[in-house]
Structure 1
Amino acid sequence: MKRILIADDHEIVRSGLRAIVETRSNWIVSGEATNGEQAVALALETRPDIMIVDYSMPIMNGLEVSRRLKALHVKTEVLILTMHESEELLTEAILAGIRGFLFKSDARKHLISAVEALLDGRPYFTSVLLEKLLHDYQANKQNRADMLLTSREQSVVQLIAEGHTNRSISAILKLSVKTVETHRASAMRKLRMSSTAELVRYAVRKKLVSP
């Protein structure tokens, strides 16, 4: 029996994903999470084979969830769901070590195939466009990495935009306050920003948080 964990902050989405997963007699939903922190806790508790994770979640986005699981040596494969077709988002996902990427609009038709691929140890990226972006990323990894915020910097920016202090961010991400301050300063330098308000606007624009 394969165990699937679903993480999305919208109940209607979780219900729809559960309905699709449960069409397979040898798959079981091992839990549902409404934010990234809960998703990590449930993964540690239930050790699912696959996690279906919404990219835009409170506290920790899908990329930070994947990063945390890898740091904890949890061998669960992560399938990221997103509403937005973005070269930058795909590149961030690959940098975070994610091997499954699916648009929410494609979930009804492709979710089963995506989960099957990850269970078989194969990556799954929808559409020819995403395959091309993956190829381009591999050819230009260093250049892309230098242009983007790191996954950790993205997570810090998200939490700042959600109203967390440096101290609370350090507790959530298991980092020292000084390290959080370093990531915050690095993100602001890369984005050429000088205020928290600018970071919040960036987070909303990049769909890290809801407006």
Structure 2
Amino acid sequence: MNWTPAEFEKRLRAVPEERYHHLHPFNVRMHAGDLSPEEIRRWILNRFHYQRHIPIKDALILSKLETSELRRMWIHRIHDHDGTEPGEGGIERWLRLGEAAGLSRDALLSGEGVLPGVRLAVDGYVNLCRLGTPLEAVAASLTELFAPDIMRTRIQAFERHYTWIDSEGLQYFRNRVTQGRRDSGEALPLVLEWARTEEQQESAVAALRFKCDLLWSLLDAIDRASE
């Protein structure tokens, strides 16, 4: 028997509550101010490999949406990260974060130093969006339900503990507070509407769980490299 919409939403929200990477030991250490400059730079460099693939996965999702209305709604996610003009967008803001932390733009863009485990996790997410159903791909994006909270926590942590990073470099995090709230507010109603059967609801929850596991695995790789 399929869940009611309220029960389905509750089960979706329970996944990141239990499995989102704000609970990962590396992020706990980051937000407590316990990471060294080398660890922060390693995280920035490896996380950039994920960031630069966000518009790619969103383009794959966009190609699965069958109406102009849905495509108009989703395409702003690509603009958010690629920008609409050179020098704009989330990828550019992440490059500026790297520069503020002492990494060169060339080092970030080259991809050298990206850990195999990080590449595997990112490939897994992109392939989910390429090969999965529209429901699974959109459901996986619902980690954004928790993104605003972790962004606010991260901003406070960096401003308090990592003052050697220029505050201008934190603009990516500031933008994602509002963007994450908007994005999840668009995606959640779609998932609730599209998942009508028990099988569809279970596949949506599984996709969100898979995304949480990928984000956790990405941090596992970075954490092990720190050790």
Indicate the structure with greater helix content: 2
Pairwise same-fold verdict (TM > 0.5)? no
* Structure having the larger proportion of residues in strand: 1
TM-score of the superposition, structure 1-length normalised?
0.31
TM-score, normalising length: structure 2:
0.29
